[in-house]
Amino acid sequence: MVRRLVGWTGEVLLTLGVLLLLFAAWQLWWTDVVANRDQAGIVRTLEDDFSRDRTPGPVGANGIPAAIGEDGAFALVRIPRFGADYARPVIEGTGRDVLALGVGHYVGTAGPGQVGNFAIAGHRTTYGRPFHDVDLLRDGDRVVVETAAEVYVYEVSGHDIVRPRDVGVIAPVPDEPGATPTTAVLTMTSCHPKYSATQRYVVHGTLVETVPRDRWDPARWLTPPTKG
């Protein structure tokens, strides 16, 4: 009886181990496959929309352009450090469903190019992991945000590692809650370390250029930096 019980227990534990491995494979691999496919489709839609000669849609009170399509995407973010082909959609909100479709914009923070803090979040692992290499960004690296009307070029100015509850990093003036902003800045957040959510990796940037779309020259702004 004892031998049978031990054998049965072993079989159950083995089955559970296999199921856990399958779940891990799904979480770490399959979600990337699905998310990358979906995000690439949204990027193509935005690129097609931006290329049309048309009047941009209305802009919200805090500078958020009107969403394009049912997914709610309103901008593209390009980061040359991550590769010449890197492009991810920016969608309003930071909920689970939103972050599975791209980069999320913190509701209530400034819009692209606006005075204040344009704060965005992205997964570092799973669901396409748009900010997987966020720790590789260096001061002076460019983060380009495209909208239908204009393209905004930010340059990285620093980084922090904070606790998840330290929301001051997305204040209008980062880390100075209550202060009145006078410049346009960018904040990117993601989980830290990789495969954990115990901390947040935060990258800050400053707006250095606003370019009307009809004068936008990708070759000038999107050349990947040298390694280092």
pLDDT digits (tens, 9 = 90+) for 173-208: 999 999 999 999 999 999 999 888 899 999 999 999
Residue 16 is predicted with a pLDDT of: 46
Which of 78, 191, 192, 204 is flagged as catalytic? 191
Contacts with 164 (C-beta within 8 Å, 6 or more apart), sequence order: 197, 198, 199, 200
Pairing mode of beta strands 73-78, 116-121: unpaired
pLDDT at 2 over 70: no
Helix segments in 52-180, DSSP class H = 96-99
How far from 73 is each of 41, 65, 90, 132, CA to CA, in Å? Answer: 11, 9, 5, 20
17 token code pair: 């181990």
Which of 88, 142, 200, 204 is flagged as catalytic? 200
Alpha-carbon distance 216 to 33, whole Å? 32
Give kind and range of the element (H or E) at residue 94: none
Which of 78, 123, 142, 192 is flagged as catalytic? 123
- Percent pLDDT > 70 in the chain is 81
What's the rounded mean pLDDT across residues 42-54?
83
Q: pLDDT tens digits for 100-145? A: 999 999 999 999 999 999 999 999 988 889 999 999 999 999 999 9
Alpha-carbon distance 90 to 166, whole Å? 23
Residue 25 is predicted with a pLDDT of: 47
Residue 186 is predicted with a pLDDT of: 98
Alpha-carbon distance 221 to 5, whole Å? 67
Residue 18 is predicted with a pLDDT of: 40
Query: Would you call 123 a catalytic residue per the annotation?
Result: yes
- Percent pLDDT > 90 in the chain is 61
Residue 24 is predicted with a pLDDT of: 46
Pairing mode of beta strands 116-121, 199-212: unpaired
What domains appear along the chain, each with residue ranges and CATH number?
Answer: 2-221 (2.40.260.10)
pLDDT at 71 over 50: yes
Closest C-alpha among 150, 140, 162 to residue 111: 150
Asked whether 169 and 187 are in contact (CB, 8 A), the reply is: yes
Farthest CA pair distance, the chain: 80
Residue 4 is predicted with a pLDDT of: 55
Backbone angles phi, psi at 11, to 5 degrees: -65, -40
Residue 103 is predicted with a pLDDT of: 97
What's the rounded mean pLDDT across residues 45-66?
74
Residue 113 is predicted with a pLDDT of: 96
Residue 20 is predicted with a pLDDT of: 43
- Three-class DSSP category at 80: helix
Alpha-carbon distance 141 to 16, whole Å? 45
pLDDT band at 156 (very low <50, low <70, confident <90, very high): very high
Query: Would you call 124 a catalytic residue per the annotation?
Result: no
Query: Would you call 78 a catalytic residue per the annotation?
Result: no
**Do you know the residue count of the chain?**
228
- What's the mean pLDDT when you consider all of the chain? 85
Alpha-carbon distance 29 to 171, whole Å? 34
Residue 55 is predicted with a pLDDT of: 55
Q: pLDDT tens digits for 3-45? A: 555 455 545 444 444 444 444 444 555 566 777 888 889 999 9
Cβ count within 10 A of residue 138: 11
Closest C-alpha among 159, 123, 156, 128 to residue 37: 128
Residue 34 is predicted with a pLDDT of: 73
